[in-house]
Amino acid sequence: MLEMEPRERFLAALNGAPVDRPPVWLMRQAGRYLPDYREVRKHAGFWELCHSPELTTRVAQEPLARFKLDAAIVFSDILVVPEALGLGVTFGAGEGPQLAHRLSGPADLAAWKVEGAAQRLGFVSDAVRHLKGALNGSHGILGFAGAPFTLLAYCTEGGGSDDFLEARVMLHQQSALAERALATLADLTAEYLEAQCAAGADTVQLFDTWGGLLDREDYMRFCVPAIRRITEPLRAKGRKVLLFVRGGQHLLPVLGEANVDGFSLDWRVDWREARTRYPRHVLQGNLDPALLLAGEAPVRAATASLIRTMREADHGTRCILNLGHGIHKDTPPQTVAALCDEVAAHG
C-alpha cells in the first residue's frame, strides 16, 4: 500500500479503513520530558501556558517536529473543568495540583459556578483552532477531557492521591450528591468537548485515570451513566470518542456500555482479549511507559511485537499505537524517537 500522510492514516484507523501501518501518538507526548517544554515553563506559569494559543501550539507541535507521530493532542489539562467551575486549581512547583474549594457536602456543589463555565473554557477550543491552523491538515488532532469520576476524585480530594478515598466514600455515603456532581461535570464536559470538535479536533479522548479504583458494580452504577451523558450527544453529531481507563482491566467486560468509538488500553490489558471482546471498536495502546526508560532495544522489540499482534487480529486497521499511560517525565527523548521510528519502519 502507498505510504499515507499522518492525518490520513490517523483518520483511516479511526474509521476502520485500510492503513499502510498503524498510526502512532503518545499520551503526554508534549510535556516535561522535552527540553523545549521545560524552556517554555521557565517563562510561563502552567495556567498562563494553557491560556496562550501561541504557547500551547508551540508545545503541542514540538513532539511532531522531533518524532514520526501521526497526531497532536491539544495542550491543556483535565483540571481546567474544576477551575472553570470556580474550585481554584493551582499547580505548585514540582507538586501536584491543589484545589482551594473541595467538594464535601451539598453546599459545596451549590457553590459551583456552572453558569458561564463553558464560556470560560473557550480558551481550550481557541487552542485547538490555533493548532489546527498551524498544522494545516498535516497531522490528526485530539481534544480531551477528564472523565466525570476522575474529575470528581480531584474535586473531593482537593488534589492528587493514590487511592482517592474521599470520592469512593462519597459514592456510598452521599450517593445522591455524588450523582448530581457527576452529572454536572458530565454535562459541562459534553458541551466543552463538542466545542473542541467544532474547533477542529478529529476525535476526543476521555481520561478516566482513576476509574480503575472502582469495582465493576460501582463503575456501572456511577461512571457509565455519567460518561453516557457525554458520549450520547457527541456521537449523535458524528463525533468520535475514545475512552481511557487506567487500571481498568477488570472493567473491560462492561466498558462497551459507555457508548464510545474506541478504548485506549492500559498496558496491563491483553490486546488479543480486548480485540476478541470488542471486534468493531477502535483499540489504542498499550505499551508500558516504563519501556521508554529501559533503552532502545526493548522499546523496538515490544513495538514490533505489538504491531504484529495488531496485524494478526485486524490487518492493523482500527488500531492506534500508543502507550498504556502517559510518558514518564524522566523519559529520554531518544527512546521515544526509537519507538516512532520502529512504527514507521513497519509501513
Q: Which of 12, 41, 90, 309 touches ligand 1CP by CB under 6 A?
A: 41
Residue of this chain nearest to ligand 1CP (CB atom): 160
CA-based nearest residue to 263, from 239, 250, 246, 287: 246
Give me the least distance between CB of 30 and ligand 1CP, in Å please: 4
- Look up 341 and say whether it is catalytic: no
| Amino acid identity for residue 114 in this structure | V
Stretch that binds ligand 1CP, among 10-18, 77-85, 232-240, 277-285 (CB under 6 A): 77-85
**From 6, 22, 53, 326, residue interacting with ligand 1CP (rule: CB under 6 A):** 326
28 catalytic, yes or no? yes
The torsion defined by the Cα of 154, 157, 160 and 165, in degrees rounded to 10, comes to -110
Separation of alpha carbons 314 and 99, rounded Å: 44
User: Catalytic residue at 37?
Assistant: no
Question: Rg (Cα) of the chain, in Å, rounded?
Answer: 19
Give the whole-angstrom CA distance, residue 64 versus residue 67. 5
Task: Please identify which of the residues 9, 28, 58, 239 carries the catalytic annotation.
Answer: 28
120 catalytically annotated: no
For residue 114 the three cell numbers come to: 456552572
Determine if 47 is a binding residue for ligand 1CP (CB under 6 A).
no
Write the CA distances from 21 to 2, 42, 87, 231, 271, integer angstroms: 10, 38, 44, 28, 17
* Complete DSSP assignment for 51-99: H-HHHHHHHHHHHHHHS--SEEE-S--TTHHHHHTT--EEE-TTS-EEE
Task: Pick the binder of ligand 1CP from 8, 62, 70, 77 (CB under 6 A).
Answer: 77
Q: By CB under 6 A, is residue 96 in contact with ligand 1CP? A: yes
Bond into 136 cis (ω within 30): no
Candidates 45, 116, 160, 295; binder of ligand 1CP (CB under 6 A) is 160
**Near ligand 1CP by CB under 6 A, which window of 72-80, 131-139, 298-306, 313-321?**
72-80
Single out the residue of 214, 114, 222 nearest to residue 176, CA to CA. Answer: 222
* Residue closer to ligand 1CP, measured from CB, 7 or 246: 246
Binding mask 246-275 for ligand 1CP (x = CB under 6 A): x-----------------------------
Touching ligand 1CP, residues 7-36 (CB under 6 A): 27-32
Q: Which lies closer to ligand 1CP via its Cβ, residue 24 or residue 316? A: 24
**Is residue 196 a contact residue for ligand 1CP (CB under 6 A)?**
no
User: Could you tell me which of 241, 187, 245, 177 has the C-alpha nearest to residue 214?
Assistant: 245
Angle, CA of 245, 339 and 268, to the nearest 5°: 30
Residue with cell 459556578: 113
Of 74, 62, 57, nearest in space to 37 by CA: 62
What is d(CA 224, CA 143) in angstroms, rounded to the nearest whole number?
A: 20
Cβ at position 146, least distance to ligand 1CP in Å? 6
Residue of 77, 187, 261, 314 marked active site: 77
H, E, C per residue of 148-175:
HHHHHHHHHHCECCCCCHHHHHHHHHCH
Binding ligand 1CP (rule: CB under 6 A), the pick from 11, 13, 78, 245 is 78
Taking the complex as a whole, how short is the minimal distance between the CB of residue 121 and ligand 1CP, in angstroms?
15
Residue type, 327: I
209 is a site residue for ligand 1CP (CB under 6 A): yes
38 carries an active-site annotation: no
Q: How many residues bind ligand 1CP (CB under 6 A)?
A: 22
Interface with ligand 1CP, residue 282, by CB under 6 A: no
Catalytically annotated residues: 28, 32, 41, 77, 154
Q: Which residues of the chain form contacts with ligand 1CP (CB under 6 A)? A: 27-32, 41, 46, 73, 75, 77-79, 91, 96-97, 144, 160, 207, 209, 246, 326
